[in-house]
Structure 1
Amino acid sequence: MALSMLQKLKNKWAAETRDEEKLAAHLRLVRAVAIFAGSVVLMRNFGDLMAV
């Protein structure tokens, strides 16, 4: 019997989060995105103070 879409998503989530290498890669990606977003917010708020 075919798996339901919800079950497929649950299986995909489990495969992505339980594998140590994939989890480490995802965490590196999340950290990079957070640093980028933080730098954008910082420059938009305080960029005029950094101008010479």
Structure 2
Amino acid sequence: MMNINCSENCIHCYDGNCTFNYVSNISNSVSKEHKCAYFEKKDLPKKASQKT
């Protein structure tokens, strides 16, 4: 098991660590915008006062 520190706003980042479990071919997923090729933006929770 590896410990990979993470500070991205990503669904795989939990408590400052990356929790992504599987490595795949990333050649088409590399982004210059983020440090991680597996980055998936974490949506911020909606406030209780907002109506859907």
TM-score (norm: length of structure 2)? 0.22
> Which one scores higher on RCO, CA 8 angstroms, separation ≥ 6?
2
Q: Going by fraction, where is strand more abundant, 1 or 2? A: 2
TM-score by length of 1: 0.22
Greater helix percent: which structure? Answer: 1
